[in-house]
């Protein structure tokens, strides 16, 4: 099979990671690369690591350029996917790495993002219960946010064993913020410093984590979510805790939940996840324990926010939607040290 793909938003970090992965995908032929303000410039100016595509000139993100491909990946700022997606026919597999189609609740969308809800698409986290089947043969995929990916995988197996209120503190590298030219994202500011942002439940990924855990639990799960920015380009380490209400052996619950998953790995006891170990890979590393003094579950999970947290998930969902082996072109081996 040769799948002809296009990437809208090829000059950004998500777009670059999609192309890095797709260059190594054996069934893919890379077609149109488009951008917004960077249209008309060569890819090398934005993605110096993608040398084989370096002299490709970025086109405008429009129907003319994107039509005629088997798969279109949208790696656009939120609010920009809906319009172009609506123009792409139902014969094209459209995979949206942005937020536009993730939330099922229109009111939640309006509260957190503002503007009109574009509707929801099949949610691209195949490791959630029942979700893999939804993604087979779909023509539309909403790729999860990076924090919701790692938080949901960390807590989903436990939602039946805990009070329905969880605490997530997720430390992240800077690439999750994209290439925005903001002073606080300058290297001089980031290196040697830690900072919190989106504190007090104000980060837009909060309702997405809530949606995922509530759906799995079959009741509302409240989420206290705080992201922290740390000095590294890639990687999220999430610490997730909740009060246990069950005497079940949590370790065996997690072992069972992820026994057959190719990308979610419960580490052997005594080993703790690090983001360095999953750099550039589609793997999620997990460890679970119980703080007996508080009867509190503690789950730590590591993910590469650009890979499994965004572009890797997109490729995984493409594989599922096209009927390819789910792991095609994806690795579980990180680039370390």
Which class for 18: exposed (0-12), middle (13-18), buried (19 or more C-beta within 10 A)? buried
Q: CB of residue 25 vs a copy of itself: minimum separation in angstroms?
A: 12
Residue linked to tokens 């119980």: 290
Instruction: State the Cα–Cα distance between residues 78 and 24, nearest whole angstrom.
Output: 27
* The two structure tokens encoding residue 212: 């995922």
Q: CB of residue 172 vs a copy of itself: minimum separation in angstroms?
A: 8
Instruction: State the Cα–Cα distance between residues 66 and 1, nearest whole angstrom.
Output: 20
Residue linked to tokens 């197996």: 157
- CB closer to a copy of itself out of 134 and 267: 267
* The two structure tokens encoding residue 86: 């609506």
* The two structure tokens encoding residue 23: 């260059």
Q: CB of residue 284 vs a copy of itself: minimum separation in angstroms?
A: 11
- CB closer to a copy of itself out of 67 and 232: 232
Q: CB of residue 86 vs a copy of itself: minimum separation in angstroms?
A: 31
Query: Of the listed 97, 146, 240, 317, which one is catalytic?
Result: 146
- CB closer to a copy of itself out of 106 and 335: 335
In 10 A of CB 91, how many CB atoms? 7
Name residues whose C-beta falls within 8 Å of residue 99's C-beta, 6 or more positions apart in sequence. Answer: 78, 113, 145, 204, 208
- CB closer to a copy of itself out of 156 and 279: 279
Instruction: State the Cα–Cα distance between residues 183 and 249, nearest whole angstrom.
Output: 47
Q: CB of residue 156 vs a copy of itself: minimum separation in angstroms?
A: 19
Q: Report yes or no: 286 and 300 within 8 Å, Cβ to Cβ.
A: yes
- CB closer to a copy of itself out of 37 and 89: 37
Instruction: State the Cα–Cα distance between residues 249 and 260, nearest whole angstrom.
Output: 19
Annotation marks residue 317 as catalytic: no
- CB closer to a copy of itself out of 50 and 74: 50
Q: CB of residue 118 vs a copy of itself: minimum separation in angstroms?
A: 24
Contacts 24+ apart (CB under 8 A), 59-64: 59/32, 59/33, 59/34, 59/35, 60/34, 60/35, 61/8, 61/9, 61/34, 61/35, 61/36, 62/34, 63/87, 63/88
Positions marked active-site: 146
């Amino acid at each position: 099979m040769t799948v002809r793909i296009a990437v809208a938003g090829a000059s950004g970090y998500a777009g670059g990671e999609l192309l890095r992965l797709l260059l190594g995908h054996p069934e893919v032929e890379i077609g149109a690369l488009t951008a917004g303000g960077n249209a008309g410039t060569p890819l090398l100016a934005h993605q110096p690591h993608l040398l084989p595509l370096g002299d490709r000139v970025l086109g405008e993100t429009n129907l003319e350029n994107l039509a005629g491909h088997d798969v279109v990946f949208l790696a656009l700022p939120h609010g920009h996917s809906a319009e172009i997606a609506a123009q792409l026919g139902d014969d094209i597999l459209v995979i949206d790495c942005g937020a536009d189609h993730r939330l099922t609740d229109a009111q939640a969308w309006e509260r957190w993002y503002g503007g009109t809800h574009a509707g929801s698409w099949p949610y691209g986290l195949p490791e959630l219960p029942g979700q893999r089947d939804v993604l087979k043969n779909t023509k539309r995929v909403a790729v999860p946010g990076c924090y919701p990916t790692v938080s949901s995988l960390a807590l989903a197996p436990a939602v039946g064993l805990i009070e329905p209120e969880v605490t997530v503190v997720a430390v992240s590298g800077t690439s999750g913020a994209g290439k925005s030219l903001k002073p606080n994202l300058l290297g001089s500011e980031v290196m040697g410093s830690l900072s919190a942002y989106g504190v007090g439940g104000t980060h837009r990924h909060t309702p997405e984590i809530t949606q995922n855990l509530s759906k799995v639990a079959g009741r509302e799960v409240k989420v206290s979510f705080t992201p922290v920015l740390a000095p590294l380009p890639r990687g999220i380490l999430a610490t997730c805790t909740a009060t246990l209400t069950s005497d079940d052996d949590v370790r065996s619950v997690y072992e069972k939940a992820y026994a057959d998953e190719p990308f979610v790995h419960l580490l052997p006891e005594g080993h703790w996840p690090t983001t360095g170990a999953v750099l550039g890979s589609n793997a999620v590393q997990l460890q679970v324990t119980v703080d007996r003094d508080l009867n509190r579950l503690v789950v730590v999970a590591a993910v590469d926010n650009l890979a499994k947290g965004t572009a890797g998930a997109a490729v995984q969902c493409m594989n599922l939607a096209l009927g390819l082996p789910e792991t095609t072109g994806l690795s579980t081996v990180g680039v370390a040290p």
